[in-house]
Amino acid sequence: MIQEKAQPLLRYINRYIPLTKSEEDKLLAKVTYRKYLKNQYIIQQGDICKYECFVISGCTKTFHLDTEGQEHIVMFSIEDWWTSDMGSFITQTPADYSVQCIENTEVIQFSYDNIEAIYDQIPRLERFFRQIIERAFVASQKRIVRSFSLTAKEQYLYFKKQYPKIEQRIPQYMIASYLGITKEFLSKIKSQIVLDQ
């Protein structure tokens, strides 16, 4: 079961580092497959995050609920992306974010209890995770700069260009939340863009 389901994960890992058959088996013994329905929560803000998830199919949003009850989306995850509240996972303290499925979603879960053993038994996987996180950090820093140096319209055009697959699967009001603007203003931007052409 896990052997078939985890194929996309193995393919993904092999783009970074080569794994021997034995290493693949060791890994698959330590992870689990799970299916969520649309609207289900993978993590709830306030809970302790027990898993890092690799998305096999579907789509999730990671968001923070602020003191005013406003939702701020920090990322979307589709096939071949990761999702979790890493801060909560690495420190085992209450999560700052919720992760909710926007579509029916299949994931491979790396549990907190097993992740150390995975690193110890397959050192190359520790390298792999280091590289993944380095890239995530770089992307996050760039997003901060964009939010300071680009107008809302420019940020929206960047998002469309960079993540065309995500843009088409997700309601506009969630994209607005991701960009840090209101859905009304995104609507205005879109009608402006139509006029531009």
126 lines the binding site for a second copy (CB under 8 A): yes
Number of chain residues interacting with a second copy (CB under 8 A): 33
Which of 7, 131, 162, 172 touches a second copy (CB under 8 A)? 131
Rounded Cα–Cα distance for residues 193 and 197 (Å): 7
Which of 136, 158, 163, 188 touches a second copy (CB under 8 A)? 136
Only one of the segments 16-24, 26-34, 51-59, 167-175 lies at the binding site for DNA (rule: CB under 7 A); that segment is 167-175
160 lines the binding site for DNA (CB under 7 A): no
Q: Which is nearer to a second copy, 5 or 115 (CB)?
A: 115
149 lines the binding site for a second copy (CB under 8 A): yes
Only one of the segments 15-23, 129-137, 159-167, 174-182 lies at the binding site for DNA (rule: CB under 7 A); that segment is 174-182
3 lines the binding site for DNA (CB under 7 A): no
Query: Where do contacts with DNA occur on this chain (CB under 7 A)?
Result: 151-153, 171-173, 180-188, 190-191
